[in-house]
Amino acid sequence: GPAVVWFRDDLRVADNPALRAAADSGRPVLCVYVWDDRSPEVRAPGGAARWWLHHSLHSLAERLEAMGATLTIRRGPAEQVIGGLLRETGTAAVYWNRRYGSERRIDERIKTAAREGGVEASSFGANLLFEPWTIRTGQGGPFSVYTPFWRACLAAPAPRKPVAAPARLTPASRIDGEELEALGLLPTHPDWAGGLRETWQPGERAAHEQLRRFLADDVAAYADDRDLPGVDATSRLSPRLRWGELSPHQLWHASATARDRSNAKGVSTFQSELGWREFAYHTLYEHPDMATVNIHRRYDAFPWPRLHPAALHAWQRGRTGIPLVDAGMRELWHSGVMHNRVRMVTASFLIKNLLVDWRHGEQWFWDTLVDADPANNPFNWQWVAGSGADAAPYFRVFNPELQREKFDRQGDYVRRWVPEWDTPDYPEPIVDLAETRRAALAAFDVVKSAR
Ligand code: FAD
């Protein structure tokens, strides 16, 4: 029987341990992707993420084709689909790279059932530098503070070297599958993806080119400029990591290899940002429901006022009258990403000036980001809200006007996305910053006194 490789958040052929194991098994290889928007354990990707996924799958299929194999696409609840496929093909072995949220329960059930049926089932660490169960405090528990967490990671055995892509694959007999187009991942009426097409080229090859350019041109100034949204200083590799077109191991080793006297600080800072991604995933591993449930449960007592749909809508559309917030929300709508500094400011404005429950903002980001990530997105929303792991204290409210003066001093970023800023066409702020800040702090007193 064939060896099945089940692709999920690892849409690459290089540094893909599951694919490598299948190739090395000497068996014919069957590559599968399952579009699963049915299992309750899986959070179905939002609109922008589906756009990315479509194109990334297309590119993966081409790469596998060039290696002699086919990517078979099926749809439905993964447990049924993979189970059925194993029986139908007389599979000898099934390989995948691990997931860390609630989906891992599906994987565990499939693994158990496969082994009971005499099928070898193996999972690999491919999408994190450090497996969650290997980084523990002195008491044996998970870390809840980033700095000691990252120190423990740096003291742990170094991340393994990337594994090479197999040169050729022996294809298994073809089986029925869906056409990629039939999954309906792309928008049709209206087609809102023009800005995404302008901004991105999904796929492994483009991802490597982007990494190469970042290390050659930008990493040296990364530590100094990464907070300036008007400067193209960050890697913009987040969707590559989200979909696994690149692994963190590849980023880790490529940046370490590129390190020299001129860029050492940039490389370390960049690697410590990868550390925040690790921390978010380790937190997800402990709190699989963190997209909906406060990590610090005393925040459940927060007295969110009744939702004002008009305020939420103004925020979503970038029409709040606060220039840095509007610039960020428009960048997001157009390009499917937003600069990290501005993500913090827009999130803080929604939660603390509009007093909208962070889950509404998290959901909007989930639907509009091409890098919408099951760990990074809720982790960072809870970080801003104050309810998360090692979060910003609630009472630290960003002032979006001071943030603009500090990080977009010349106004390059704001003018790029809000060209009518400083003209009579630009709206007045929908709320008073000082007054709403006071209201937020008063609401927070309820949390402080909750136990
Ligand atoms: P770089 O500065 O080049 O950093 C390199 C990589 O490190 C990133 O690609 C990312 O994988 C990781 N990283 C950097 N900062 C963080 C962070 N704060 N937390 C976790 N990982 C980090 N990131 C996502 O990938 N997906 C999300 O859905 C997401 N939602 C966010 C929501 C909010 C409210 C906030 C404040 C941040 C969010 N982030 C998210 C984190 C961060 O903003 C993005 O990872 C970053 O802006 C991506 O740009 P870059 O690739 O150029 O980052």
Q: What is the mean pLDDT of residues 3-27?
A: 98
Same structural domain, 333 and 434: yes
Q: pLDDT tens for residues 297-348? A: 999 999 999 999 999 999 999 999 999 999 999 999 999 999 999 999 999 9
- Stretch 151-176: mean pLDDT, rounded? 96
Judgement on whether residues 370 and 402 belong to the same structural domain of the protein: yes
CA-CA distance, 30 to 8, in Å (whole number)? 14
Give the residue, by CA position, lying nearest to ligand 1 atom 23.
376
Question: Does residue 344's CB lie within 6 angstroms of at least one atom of ligand 1?
Answer: yes
Do 134 and 120 belong to one domain? no
Its domain, for residue 316, covers 297-449
Q: CA–CA separation, 338 vs 416, rounded Å?
A: 13
This model of the complex carries an ipTM of: 0.99
Residue 395 pLDDT: 85
Where among 233, 265, 286 does a domain terminate?
Answer: 286
Q: What average pLDDT does the segment 5-31 reach?
A: 98
Which of 100, 126, 152 is the C-terminal boundary of a domain? 126
Whether residue 228 is predicted with pLDDT greater than 90 in this model: the reply is yes
Examine the pLDDT at 117 and tell me if it is beyond 80. yes
**246-298 pLDDT, tens digit each:** 999 999 999 999 999 999 999 999 999 999 999 999 999 999 999 999 999 99
| 319 and 406 in a common domain | yes
The answer for residues whose C-beta is within 8 angstroms of residue 300's C-beta and 6 or more apart is 294, 450
Q: Is 237 in the pocket of ligand 1 (CB under 6 A)?
A: yes
Whether 10 is covered by a domain: the verdict is: yes
Q: How far apart are CA 382 and CA 365, in angstroms?
A: 13
For a ligand 1 pocket test, name from 232, 234, 238 the mutation site with the most ligand atoms within 8 angstroms of its C-beta.
Answer: 238
Q: Do 244 and 345 belong to one domain?
A: no
pLDDT computed for residue 451 by the predictor: 66
Q: How far is the CA of 128 from the centre of ligand 1 (A)?
A: 15
For atom 20 of ligand 1, the residue with the nearest CA is 277
CA dihedral 246, 124, 336, 343 (to 10 degrees): -100
> In this structure, are 209 and 241 located in the same domain?
yes
For residue 450, pLDDT over 80 is answered with no
Tokens of 40: 């309750």
Domain annotation covers residue 393: yes
Q: What is the pLDDT of residue 449?
A: 84
To the nearest whole number, what is the mean pLDDT of the chain?
A: 97
- pLDDT at site 396: 87
Q: Which atom of ligand 1 is nearest to the CA of 344?
A: 36
| Overall domain count for the chain | 3
| Same domain as 218, residue 121 | no
Q: CATH number, domain at 74?
A: 3.40.50.620
Which of 215, 271, 277 has most ligand 1 atoms within 8 Å of CB, for mutation? 277
Average pLDDT over residues 11-38: 97
Token output for 22: 């299948």
Query: What is the share, in percent, of the chain residues with pLDDT greater than 70?
Result: 100
pLDDT tens digits, 380-433? 999 999 999 898 888 889 999 999 999 999 999 999 999 999 999 999 999 999
| Residue 120 CB neighbour total at 10 angstroms | 14
State in Å: Cα 358 to ligand 1 middle.
17
pLDDT over threshold 70, residue 84: yes
Distance of CA 243 to the CA centre of its chain: 8
Q: From residue 158, give the alpha-carbon distance in Å to each of 155, 161, 253, 370.
A: 8, 9, 10, 30
Q: How far apart are CA 74 and CA 18, in angstroms?
A: 19
Decide whether any atom of ligand 1 lies within 6 Å of the 235 Cβ: yes
Instruction: Using the predicted structure, report yes or no on whether residue 40 has a pLDDT greater than 70.
Output: yes
